[in-house]
């Protein structure tokens, strides 16, 4: 006379709302003697091992299952893991890597592209003390926020408490910059703190872009992945995001170099609007439509990059089931065609759809 909803309980456990109970520790929900059990369409997780169907069972082969309900419709791998469940899990991994990494790349690329295109080499004036102070604060903040706390961040990734540790690191990173502004405020009456300089942000940003593009993307990813002691999907997302922003920057810079000379931008400057307001409310909204094309192609490239890293077993944890890891498993048995065809087809279809979206956006915007 009692009903249980383990799916909703799992959400509560993950959020910390409810506590663990004995019933939640049941390993296989098909084993206990319940009156009835409503299982998902695929009654396997990506990491569930079926000991009765190990060693590469074909989708059309003889399978030792209780009924058709538990059949492995796309076969199994050498450990007896369900291929269809792995395909679904791999889809989530691929889209998470593609979308989140391009979100990071977009934030970086839009920032650098906006300041480079809007200010150029002669439009950004700042105090000399601010420039040299920030130049000193950048490596100091980065060292104490990320390098010295590398062990704490690695432990946070393993324990799932990354959000707090990352926010704490960002606070540490920002402290030297606040200190520079505080010193500047205290001594603002001094003549030495009043001298201004023109910062050639356009040249600085483009030289940085050229340095990053001079190194092959794959080689750069492999070099950055090797810096981390532990393999993590988060590391892969961050690395891909940190190298994919250059295309967004160059594209947005070119758009803003054109837009900043238009009449409504000049009128906004004449009315005394701040540069931040002009960039956010007038310049960026008219330049972002074209940037969406670059982002859509970037998501496709990120999916391919994640699949390649999983295939060679670098960066992504070995227990993580992805399309690339399934392709790597197919190399162990050349007769296991289903482990090569289905993940390969998924990568092909996903990348093709994302490229078609980019082509469609370019045609619509180009009209």
**Cα separation of the two ends of the chain:** 64
Tell me: the pLDDT tens digits for 135-162? 898 889 888 888 888 777 777 766 656 6
Question: By three-state DSSP, how is residue 273 classified?
Answer: coil
Burial (0-12, 13-18, 19+ Cβ within 10 Å), 354: buried
Beta-sheet pairing, 125-127 with 196-198: antiparallel
Alpha helical stretches, state H, the chain: 6-15, 83-119, 128-142, 150-159, 162-186, 201-214, 217-225, 233-243, 245-259, 263-270, 275-278, 284-312, 323-330, 338-366
Backbone φ and ψ of 263, nearest 5°: -65, -40
Range from 3-12, 27-36, 180-189 carrying the lowest mean pLDDT: 27-36
The answer to whether the beta carbons of residues 328 and 343 sit under 8 Å apart is: no
How much is the pTM?
Answer: 0.79
% of residues, the chain, pLDDT over 70: 92
Q: Which residues contact 169 (CB under 8 A, 6 or more apart)?
A: 145, 146, 149, 153
Among 119, 103, 109, residue whose Cα is nearest residue 256: 119
Alpha carbons 323 and 343: distance in angstroms, whole number: 5
Instruction: Give the pLDDT of residue 367.
Output: 52
Cβ neighbours of 38 (radius 10 Å) = 8
Structure tokens at 186: 């205290």
Tens of pLDDT, residue by residue over 311-320, are: 888 878 877 8
């Amino acid at each position: 006379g009692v009903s249980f909803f383990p799916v909703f309980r799992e959400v509560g456990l993950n959020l910390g709302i409810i506590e663990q109970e004995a019933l939640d520790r049941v390993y296989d929900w098909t084993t206990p003697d319940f009156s009835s059990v409503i299982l998902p369409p695929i009654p396997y997780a990506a990491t569930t091992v079926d000991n009765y169907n190990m060693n590469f069972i074909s989708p059309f082969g003889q399978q030792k299952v209780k009924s058709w309900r538990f059949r492995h419709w796309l076969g199994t791998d050498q450990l007896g893991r369900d291929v269809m469940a792995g395909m679904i899990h791999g889809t989530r991994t691929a889209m998470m890597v593609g979308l989140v990494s391009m979100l990071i790349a977009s934030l970086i690329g839009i920032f650098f592209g906006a300041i480079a295109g809007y200010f150029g080499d002669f439009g950004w004036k700042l105090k000399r003390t601010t420039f040299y102070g920030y130049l000193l604060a950048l490596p100091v903040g980065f060292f104490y926020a990320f390098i010295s706390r590398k062990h704490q961040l690695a432990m946070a990734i393993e324990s799932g408490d990354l959000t707090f540790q990352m926010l704490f690191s960002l606070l540490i990173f920002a402290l030297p910059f606040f200190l520079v502004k505080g010193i500047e405020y205290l001594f603002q009456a001094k003549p030495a703190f009043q001298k201004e300089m023109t910062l050639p942000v356009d040249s600085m940003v483009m030289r940085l872009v050229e340095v990053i593009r001079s190194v092959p993307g794959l080689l750069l990813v492999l070099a950055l992945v090797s810096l981390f002691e532990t393999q993590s999907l988060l590391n892969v997302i961050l690395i891909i995001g940190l190298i994919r922003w250059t295309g967004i920057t160059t594209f947005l810079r070119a758009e803003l170099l054109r837009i900043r000379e238009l009449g409504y931008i000049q009128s906004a400057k004449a009315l005394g609007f701040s540069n931040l307001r002009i960039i956010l409310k007038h310049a960026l909204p008219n330049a972002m439509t074209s940037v969406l094309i670059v982002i859509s192609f970037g998501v496709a490239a990120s999916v391919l990059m994640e699949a390649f890293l999983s295939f060679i077993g670098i960066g992504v944890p070995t227990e993580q089931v992805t399309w690339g890891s399934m392709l790597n498993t197919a190399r162990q048995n050349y007769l296991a065609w289903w482990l090569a065809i289905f993940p390969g087809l998924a990568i092909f279809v996903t990348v093709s759809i994302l490229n078609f979206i980019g082509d469609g956006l370019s045609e619509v915007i180009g009209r």
